[in-house]
Amino acid sequence: MRLDTGLSALPGHAAAEFWLPQDPLLALVFQTGLAIVACSLLMLVAVFLLRLRLVLRQRRERRYAAQWQPLLAECVFGVPGTLPRVPPGLRYHFLKLWNHHHESLEGGARDHLKALAVAMGLDRAARDMLRSRDLRLRLIAIITLGHLGDRQCWPELRALVSDPSPVLSLAAARALLDIDARATLAWLVMVMAAREDWPLARLAAMLKEAGPDRVTAPLVAALEAAGDPKQAVRLLRLMEIAHTGRAGEAAARAVGAASDPEVIAAGLRLINDPREIELARGCAAHGTWFVRAGAARLLGRIGGPEDRQRLVAMLADTHWWVRYHAARALIALPFTSLEELEKVRGTLDDRFAADMLAQVIAEARAS
């Protein structure tokens, strides 16, 4: 292709040449450019329309919320005589507000909220929403059905626990716990151990809501059945929510039988029984630093004056955290004063050990 200069052409011809490229390839690029500009203009309009829709929606939501709020607040005292009017387009918004109240209130007020929702037919609506393709609607439906204790949707929620989406499956697990914690926990803890895409923090929050009375036995049973060290570690972490005594016993058994350092370290965190002192002493010489650090912490909890020399020796460990926990354990030992530890510090040849003890003594004095 040879390009004309455009300057040599006649004025009329030049104008045509300016806006309508003769070369087919250039014309294609030109048309692409025009299409892109047109696309931009359409998007500009879309931005305006979206904002307009947002403003109108917010205005409507505010208007209805002003009617709903007093009725939902009335549920603290009883079921309101008047049912809130919820247009179909604002059902999601109402359910969110309803759930917000449900999670903020306790006891009888929750029962009044449930009665209000059933009277309004929200249980049926939520069951319908469970099959929606919109994730937002499905999530709010799951949470609502859980709060309503709706047993009719049990099979559907149970199936959703196996959904590959962690968001959806976790919401379903939580709803099932709300409906019947005891029946759910019997099998759910195994799923909790196996599904690595379920964040421990979320599971811990759910188990905390269920309470240690309900979660301890299933967790202990699951730990004893767990063959995979990864699963055992997850269960041991979750057992921090369980009753201390039973969790500690199960953890000691797990630590005794384990060779995986992660399992041992997770187990050591749960032990509080002085009868397990030999376990702690054995782990103090483990090859993995975080097991030694865990052992030092455990010695601080269950150790006696006879463990002082062992802990003093651990102050010279190669790893900072082992030194730190050994120093803290020394302070926690019974019948050990800070003045005595100052004297111990004076006898230390290892500078790192002395520095660490100085830091921990200062921490103890500051607190």
Partner 1 sequence: MSGVFDWAEGLQWFFMLYFIGINGGYLMLNLLSLGSLKRYIEAHSLDDLPRGISGFEPPVSVLVPAYNEEATIAGSVRSMLQLNYPDYEVIVVNDGSKDGTMDALRREFALLPFPEAYWQRLPAKPVRGIYRSTTHPSLRVIDKENGGKADALNAGINAAQYPLFCGVDADSVLERDSLKRVVEPFLEDPRTIASGGTVRIANGCSVDNGFLTRVGLPRNPLALLQIVEYLRAFLFGRMGWSPLNAVLIISGAFGLFRKDVVVEAGGYRSDTVGEDMELVVRLHRLHRTRGIPYRIVFVPDPVCWTEAPESLRVLKNQRVRWQRGLSESLTMNLGLLFHPRGGVAGWLAFPFMAVFEWLGPLIEVAGYLFMITAFVLGVVSGEAFWTFMLVAFGFGLVLSVSSLLLEEMSFHIYPKPSQVAVLLLMVVVENFGYRQLNSLWRLWGLLLWLSRSKAKWGDMKRTASWQTGGGGMR
Residues 245-304 contacting partner 1, CB under 8 A: none
Kindly indicate which of the ranges 12-20, 70-78, 115-123, 250-258 contains the residues binding partner 1, using the contact rule CB under 8 A.
12-20
73 lies in the site for partner 1, by CB under 8 A: no
56 binds partner 1 (CB under 8 A): no
> Taking the complex as a whole, how short is the minimal distance between the CB of residue 233 and partner 1, in angstroms?
11
Please report whether residue 366 would count as binding partner 1 according to CB under 8 A. yes
Q: Which residues 339-358 are close enough to bind partner 1 by CB under 8 A?
A: 352, 355-356, 358
DSSP readout, 14-59?
A: HHHHHHS-SSHHHHHHHHHHHHHHHHHHHHHHHHHHHHHHHHHHHH
CB of 200 to partner 1, least distance (A): 5
Nearest CB to partner 1, comparing residues 16 and 183: 16
Residue 82 in 3-state DSSP? Answer: coil
Out of 80, 116, 146, 208, which residue is the one contacting partner 1 (CB under 8 A)?
Answer: 208
- The closest alpha carbon to 327, from 302, 299, 304, belongs to 299
* Residue pair 123/147 in contact by the 8 Å Cβ criterion: no
Distance in angstroms (rounded) separating the CA atoms of residues 269 and 273 = 11
Give min distance, CB of 360 to partner 1, in A: 9
Among 203, 201, 199, which Cα is nearest to 188's?
203
The whole-angstrom separation of Cα 79 and Cα 94 is 17
C-beta of 88: minimal distance to partner 1 in Å?
18
User: 196 is written with which tokens?
Assistant: 């690595």
Q: What is the rounded CA–CA span in Å between residue 287 and residue 295? A: 12
Size of site (CB under 8 A) for partner 1: 74
Binding-residue pattern over the window 138 to 167 for partner 1, x denoting contact by CB under 8 A: -xx--x----------------------xx
Is residue 104 at the binding interface for partner 1, with CB under 8 A as the rule? yes
196 binds partner 1 (CB under 8 A): yes
The residue assigned the tokens 């030109």 is 30
Q: What's at 255, amino acid-wise? A: V
Task: State in angstroms the smallest separation of the CB of 238 from partner 1.
Answer: 9
Provide the residue type at 189 as one letter.
Answer: V
**Which residue's CB is nearer to partner 1, number 111 or number 209?**
209
- Least separation in angstroms between residue 177's CB and partner 1 is 13
Return the amino acid letter for 286.
H
Contact between 110 and partner 1 by CB under 8 A: the answer reads no
